[in-house]
Amino acid sequence: MLQLRPNCECCDRDLPADSAQALICSFECTFCQSCADRLLHGCCPNCGGELVRRPIRPAAKLARVPASSTRVLNPPSLRRS
């Protein structure tokens, strides 16, 4: 089950579970569309994987299995070279 993380790891923008602007890699690293396009060029900076649109969980299922509330922040300024 996807975690549906609540924010962009890069800029900390809120990404609600129903956001069409959320992109993830196969490890569920989560980024907003803007950071994915402008800064990351569609490639996850953590694993090198492709960033794709995160699916939206149906509201009825979201009520039973809620999105994560744990924020992950790993902006470029904090990454090791």
Q: Is the dihedral of CA 26, 31, 34, 36 positive or negative?
A: negative
pLDDT of residue 42: 97
pTM of this structure: 0.89
pLDDT of residue 33: 98
pLDDT of residue 77: 63
DSSP 8-state class, residue 37 = H
What CATH fold (topology level) applies to the domain 1-58? Herpes Virus-1 (3.30.40)
Write out pLDDT tens, residues 6-43: 999 999 999 999 999 999 999 999 999 999 999 999 99
Q: Is the dihedral of CA 68, 74, 76, 80 positive or negative?
A: negative
Domain ranges of the chain: 1-58
Per-residue confidence band for 5, with pLDDT thresholds at 50, 70 and 90: very high
pLDDT of residue 75: 80
Closest CA to 55 of 33, 29, 27, 23: 23
